[in-house]
Amino acid sequence: MDDLYREVIIEHYKNPGYRGRLDPHDIFFEDNNPLCGDHIEVTLQVGADGAVSDARFDGHGCAISQASADLLIESIIGKPIEEVKQLNKQDVLDLLGIELGPVRLKCALLSLKVLKAGVYGLGEAGDDLVE
Ligand code: ZN
């Protein structure tokens, strides 16, 4: 699998720019991908204009799960929450820039699932959030 990882994924995995936890924060959510053992939590601060003023992720797991979280968080800072709600599977795949099989797809989409459950204020992160 390693030879399929593009350099950008390794780079974001090893040197994530947005790892951490915002305190205080307006939105918090966390969830796991039991298939792989990945864990992701996100914290967001939302400005008076309804846009994401800052965001961080924390967690552990495989390179795909952590790199996609870093790329995703980077991409949403400054975006209106309404736009974040519209993000889908393809947006994450575009950020990663690689094709993924069904197992790795779960890893890649965990951060999106967590993020969307958070912005929608849901108590649970369902797979339907990332279709
Ligand atoms: Zn994984």
Res 21: pLDDT: 98
Domain span including residue 26: 2-120
Question: For residue 27, how far is its CA from the centre of ligand 1 (angstroms)?
Answer: 24
Backbone dihedral angles phi then psi of residue 12, each to the nearest 5 degrees: -70, -30
pLDDT on residue 1:
46
* pTM of full prediction above 0.75: yes
CATH code, domain with 31: 3.90.1010.10
Distance 49 CA to ligand 1 centre (A): 35
Tens digits of residue pLDDT in 42-54: 999 999 999 999 9
Indicate whether 35 belongs to any domain: yes
- Count of C-beta atoms within a 10 Å radius of residue 33: 22
* pLDDT of res. 99: 86
**Centre of ligand 1 from the C-alpha of residue 68, in Å:** 10
Q: Which of 82, 79, 68, 83 is nearest to 18 (CA)?
A: 68
Q: How far apart are the first and last CA of the chain?
A: 24
Name the DSSP class of 4. G
**C-alpha 21: how far from chain center:** 14
Q: How far is the CA of 47 from the centre of ligand 1 (A)?
A: 32
CA of 12 to the centre of ligand 1 (A): 14
